[in-house]
Chain A
Amino acid sequence: MSLLSVRGLRKSFGGIEAVAGVDFDLEPGELLALIGPNGAGKSTCFNMLNGQLRPDGGSIAFDGQPITGLPPRVVWRRGVGRTFQVTATFLSMTVLQNVQTALLSFHGRLRSFRPWSSRLYLDEAFALLELVGMAEQGDRLCSVLAYGDLKRVELAIALANAPKLLLMDEPTAGMAPAERIELMRLASEIAHERRIGILFTEHDMDVVFAHAARVMVLDRGRLIAVGTPRQVRGDAQVRAVYLGS
């Protein structure tokens, strides 16, 4: 059984079909890339998968259960983590508090009025920060971190609910080439170790072709190619609409 199974996913905005019937499956531990020109519908697709947008049609099954149209927080409870194109972290908190807050939510403790939260889930939080190599910077404020480090923190937050699926929207956007390779290496390592499926969008073809097991190409809301990096790179239609010379 697939980890994620998407059938006939559709969404329109003001009469324009942003996503026009997308089908695909994702297996545990697999890194699947979703690429395509701007406006192809990648972000729309992503936002429907984690529940930020309600699809007009089609179905999404996660771990055998339908999650179509459920709000983000419910999708998250089922085991879907997410990182954003522009990092979304809590800037007034320290790195450690960011992860602690995610853990508090995961353990259902956010409604408690005592004790001070700085004492809660310290070890778990440090373990996650260790994993992404941010443990030494645990006490720094997120607002003063370098962008690459912020991306790592976001990854640690996204792992707080022990997800089975990670959705990463342009995980390396805004990073220098070396940092990109490093972050994706980290992500794929975690994916293999923990059998987490990762779906990611990406504009940097070096990253895509180096890390993805399979690549899907979206153009004007439709998948025009699916296959291994080698197959996709050789596809004439993909070259015409996206890759160019």
Chain B
Amino acid sequence: MKLEVHKLDAFYGRAQILFGVTLKVAAGEALALLGRNGAGKSTMLRAILGLVAARRGRVVLDGRDISGMATGRIVRRGLGWVPEDRRIFTDLSVEENLEIGRQPPRAGVPHWTVERLFSLFPNLAEVRRRPAGQISGGEQQMLTISRTLMGNPCVIMLDEPSEGLAPLIVERMAVAVTEMKREGLGVLLAEQNLTFSRAVSDRATIIEKGRIRFEGTLECLLADEAVARAYLAV
């Protein structure tokens, strides 16, 4: 297993958001974390990454315990995070943005270079010297994913990569996620968009009110109408 989360609790202030969440992501596998807005998906990713200070439980990355570590250290151990709102550095050029994400190559993990990322997302190559604030929303989404890949992660967590994107760009994102899986990355995908999740993920976990409600393959999930209606409202 590349990423193992065991009985994770997380809090904002005095409010508990996650209740003993457990999940696993293997190499070359994409796990879709599904659920309504406010179910705790983003908090889940942020807690795994150590951005939620008040948390308890065990998180193991590539065989090493990272629970309680500071975010920077967790990231340097090989966990990548693509935030929901992209958070690109608008004043920096596209290339400088990628530079910020760069980490030294890691043994046994795919190594990404600027040129390789440009071939994955050709649109970015065309705007490489432009300030990132002046590229389109779709290009920004490609940039934020590329920037995280520059850290050569062994597991990447994507928070709603299809949100607010035109259908054409969403298709491009699916291609990119498939490529990451082929390279052996573990992918943890927080999504509301079922079509996109179905296109890229192998297994799914449904989270509701901070608790895991279902685990299994996507087909299994969609076949189980009761589950789908109760937690996803499809």
Contact = CB atoms under 8 A, between A and B. Distances in A.
Interface string A231-245: 000000000011111
A176 B37 contact: yes
Contact of B15 (A38, A39, A144): A144
A179 to B, nearest CB: 7
Interface string A165-189: 0000000011111110000000000
Closest 10 CB pairs of A and B: A178-B233, A38-B137, A176-B36, A244-B167, A37-B166, A244-B168, A174-B37, A39-B136, A147-B38, A147-B37
A243 B233 contact: no
B192 A176 contact: yes
Contacts of A38: 136-138, 164-166, 169
A244 B171 contact: yes
Interface in B150-197: 163-171, 192
Contacts of A175: 36-37
Please indicate which of the listed interface residues B164, B165, B170 has the most CB atoms of chain A within 10 Å of its own CB.
Answer: B164
A203 interface: yes
A82 B72 CA distance: 40
B53 interface: no
Interface of B: 15, 36-38, 136-138, 163-171, 192, 232-234
Nearest to B34: A176
B168 A242 contact: yes
Interface of B, secondary structure class, is loop
Contacts, number: 54
B124 to A, nearest CB: 16
A148 B163 CA distance: 17
A243 B195 CA distance: 14
Given A38-B138, A39-B137, A177-B232, A242 B165 contact: no
Given A38-B164, A144-B15, A242-B167, 15 more contacts: A37-B138, A38-B166, A39-B136, A148-B37, A175-B36, A175-B37, A176-B233, A177-B192, A177-B234, A178-B233, A241-B166, A241-B168, A244-B167, A244-B168, A244-B171
